[in-house]
């Protein structure tokens, strides 16, 4: 990845790959979880902190079998089934994991269940030779395969289900007599004894990430599936390929999303919302019937009430807009409460930061803030009050009052014509 960040912590849809995988694992309610890590242990430990996850360290990398063996102590006394997964293979569904465990326990005394797939280009994947019932005859790494084995299209994803009573006994039996001199996890399948089986997944589900390009490809797969889900659940995406969701985006029914909209983490959108083109929304809650954009930015803490409107080039941060409130043009609303039915004129800003601390602005129900006003927080505008355009408000405005903060306009008849004549004469003299 050419990065200071651990590979498995690079994000897909705003969530680290490892946490995508662990979220799917959590659906199975596992008794124990162990993450085996080599370099970058501190980063991984921090990412999974609080998740009741044990960390096992592989100090030297001697292959996948050696890596799994490092989990031995963390699984001491455990008497159940073990799923072996990979942190850089983030899209595996919980349903697939369940299928692996179910196949392991179907009663035909399987040693292991391997998750296979059939890619468009088998490339250098390890191959699985199996019969019509999915019972495995042979598994072989590509670099060790002969021509006939390389012609097989069923490939090994590396994911496996094994009984805890078998796993570490089998790992003790495998050797490293291969081209790489490593201990391969798949070799436990080929040890003499009971049989193993393969079940198949789609290629996208077992896609691994080893480069920035592969990270982008997995992101594209995730986004395509999420867009399809949103439309299936009742949202309209005008140009689906231009909309990007986060892992936790919640979209209601009859929501219309126009082109080029990006959702960061922490967004909930209620029913009947319209999100116009070129909006960026993160950490926000949008009430039913609201209209956002175009070209709006909702930052964390934005709470947009039912039927409220946030228009073009309006930024909202850590602020609440009440039901039916409007900020239609060119405004910044930060650390504020805007009451129901209030109107925020074009060019209005809440001056919430003095370089050291943030302060709060309160705008009452039905208040009208004229264009190009600056509300210097902390400040309160009462219900039904009117702030005249161009005002700089530094004191509380009572309910139903007019706030007018600007010098009296003066007029000098003929001044402009005289000025032009004077300037033209001066220019001609040069």
Q: Is the pLDDT of residue 122 over 90?
A: no
How is the chain split into domains, by residue range?
7-206, 212-403
Tokens 């960026």 appear where? Answer: 280
Catalytic residues: 329
Over the stretch 393-416, which tens digit does the pLDDT of each residue have? 999 999 999 999 988 889 999 999
Instruction: Report the pLDDT value the prediction gives residue 152, as an integer from 0 to 100.
Output: 94
Token pair of 175, please?
């050797």
Query: DSSP of 102-166, one letter per residue?
Result: HHHTSSS--SEEEEEE--SS-TT--EEEE-TT-BEEEEE-GGG--HHHHT---EEEEEEEEEHHH
Over the stretch 228-275, which tens digit does the pLDDT of each residue have? 999 999 999 999 999 999 999 999 999 999 999 999 999 999 999 999
pLDDT mean over 38-52: 91
Q: Is the pLDDT of residue 194 over 80?
A: no
pLDDT mean over 45-57: 93
> What is the topology classification, in CATH, of domain 212-403?
UDP N-Acetylglucosamine Acyltransferase; domain 1 (2.160.10)
Rounded CA Rg of the chain: 31
Q: Is the pLDDT of residue 206 over 90?
A: yes
Instruction: Report the pLDDT value the prediction gives residue 268, as an integer from 0 to 100.
Output: 98
> What is the topology classification, in CATH, of domain 7-206?
Spore Coat Polysaccharide Biosynthesis Protein SpsA; Chain A (3.90.550)
Query: What is the H or E stretch that residue 24 is in?
Result: helix 17-26
Cβ count within 10 A of residue 405: 15
Instruction: Report the pLDDT value the prediction gives residue 144, as an integer from 0 to 100.
Output: 85
CA distance 205 to 241: 20
Instruction: Report the pLDDT value the prediction gives residue 359, as an integer from 0 to 100.
Output: 98
pLDDT mean over 48-56: 92
Over the stretch 322-353, which tens digit does the pLDDT of each residue have? 999 999 999 999 999 999 999 999 999 999 99
Average pLDDT, the chain: 95
CA distance 86 to 96: 14
Instruction: Report the pLDDT value the prediction gives residue 190, as an integer from 0 to 100.
Output: 87
Q: Is the pLDDT of residue 108 over 80?
A: no
- Max CA-CA distance within the chain? 108
Name the nearest CA neighbour of 195 among 112, 131, 139: 112
pLDDT bin (cut points 50, 70, 90) of residue 141 is confident
Instruction: Report the pLDDT value the prediction gives residue 226, as an integer from 0 to 100.
Output: 98
Cβ count within 10 A of residue 339: 22
Query: DSSP of 306-321, one letter per residue?
Result: TT-EEEET-EEEEEEE
């Amino acid at each position: 990845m050419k990065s200071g960040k651990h590979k498995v912590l690079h994000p897909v849809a705003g969530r680290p790959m490892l946490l995508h995988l662990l979220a799917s694992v959590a659906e199975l309610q596992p008794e124990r979880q162990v993450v085996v890590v080599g370099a970058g242990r501190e980063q991984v430990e921090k990412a999974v902190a609080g998740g009741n996850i044990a960390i096992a360290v592989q100090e030297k990398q001697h292959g996948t079998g050696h890596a799994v063996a490092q989990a031995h102590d963390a699984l001491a006394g455990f008497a159940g089934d073990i799923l072996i997964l990979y942190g850089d293979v983030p899209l595996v569904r919980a349903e697939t994991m369940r299928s692996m465990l179910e196949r392991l326990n179907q009663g035909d005394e399987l040693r292991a269940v391997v998750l296979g797939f059939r890619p468009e280009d088998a490339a250098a994947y390890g191959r699985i030779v199996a019969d019509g019932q999915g019972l495995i005859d042979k598994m072989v790494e590509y670099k060790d395969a002969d021509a006939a084995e390389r012609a097989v299209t069923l490939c090994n994803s590396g994911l496996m289900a094994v009984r805890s009573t078998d796993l570490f006994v089998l790992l003790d039996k495998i050797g490293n007599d291969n081209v790489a001199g490593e201990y391969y996890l798949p070799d436990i399948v080929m040890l003499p004894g009971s049989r193993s089986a393969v079940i198949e997944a789609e290629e996208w589900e077992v896609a691994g990430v080893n480069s920035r390009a592969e990270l982008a490809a997995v992101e594209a797969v995730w986004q395509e599936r999420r867009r399809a889900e949103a439309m299936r659940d009742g949202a309209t995406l005008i140009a689906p390929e231009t909309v990007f969701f986060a892992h936790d985006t919640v979209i209601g029914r009859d929501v219309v999303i126009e082109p080029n909209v990006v959702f960061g983490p922490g967004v909930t959108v209620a029913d009947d919302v319209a999100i116009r083109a070129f909006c960026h929304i993160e950490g926000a809650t949008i009430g039913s019937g609201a209209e956002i954009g175009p070209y709006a930015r909702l930052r964390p803490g934005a709470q947009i009430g039912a039927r409220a409107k946030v228009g073009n080039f309006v930024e909202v941060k850590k602020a609440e807009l009440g039901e039916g409130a409007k900020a239609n043009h060119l405004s910044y609303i930060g650390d504020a409460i805007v009451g129901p039915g209030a109107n925020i004129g074009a060019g209005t800003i809440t001056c919430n930061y003095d370089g050291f601390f943030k302060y709060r602005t309160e705008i009452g129900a039905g208040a009208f803030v004229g264009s190009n006003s600056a509300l210097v927080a902390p400040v309160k505008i009462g219900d039904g009050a009117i702030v005249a355009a161009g005002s700089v408000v530094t004191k509380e405005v009572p309910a139903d009052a007019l706030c007018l903060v600007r010098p009296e306009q003066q007029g000098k008849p003929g001044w402009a014509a005289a000025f032009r004549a004077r300037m033209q004469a001066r220019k001609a003299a040069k």
